[in-house]
Every structure is written in C-alpha cells, then in structure tokens.
C-alpha cells in the first residue's frame, strides 16, 4: 500500500457516517412522496379554515 493510498483511505468517512447518509437518503425518498400526496388535503383544509375565519370576521363586523 502506497502512502497515497493510505492518504485516500484516511479521508474516507466512517461506517457510521456512511450509514447515516444512507438512512437520511432513504428517509428523504420516502417522506417526499408522502408530503406531496398530503398537500392537496392540507391545502383544502387551510382554504376552508380561512373562509371560516373570514365569515366570522364579517359576521362580527356586521353585528
């Protein structure tokens, strides 16, 4: 093993670091589609809630 090979080997991340990167990547790949699938429902709920608040405010202003 040459000194250059030893230098390259010393700069490699540890097994734990590599496992953490893999877990993070897998989590991202799984969580993004789930978030995208939930977005329309969440957006619809936010619109209904905004309309409800608007109606309450206009009702309070009229009274």
pLDDT in tens, 9-27: 999 999 999 999 999 999 9
Residue 8 lies in a domain: no
Q: Distance between CA 20 and CA 27 in Å, rounded? A: 10
Residue 6 lies in a domain: no
Residue 22 lies in a domain: yes
Number of domains in the chain: 1
Q: What is the mean pLDDT of the chain?
A: 90
Residue 46 lies in a domain: yes
> Where does the pLDDT of residue 37 fall: very low under 50, low under 70, confident under 90, or very high at 90 and above?
confident
Percentage of the chain exceeding pLDDT 70: 95
Residue 21 lies in a domain: yes
Residue 43 lies in a domain: yes
pTM passes above 0.75 = no
* Full residue range of the structural domain in which residue 48 is found: 13-62
- Phi then psi dihedrals of residue 13, to 5 deg: -70, 160
Residue 3 lies in a domain: no
């Amino acid at each position: 093993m040459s000194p250059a090979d030893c230098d390259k080997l010393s700069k490699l991340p540890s097994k734990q670091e590599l496992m953490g990167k893999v877990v993070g990547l897998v989590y991202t790949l799984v969580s993004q589609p789930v978030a995208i699938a939930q977005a329309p429902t969440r957006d619809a709920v936010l619109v209904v809630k905004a309309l409800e608040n608007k109606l309450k405010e206009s009702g309070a202003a009229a009274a």
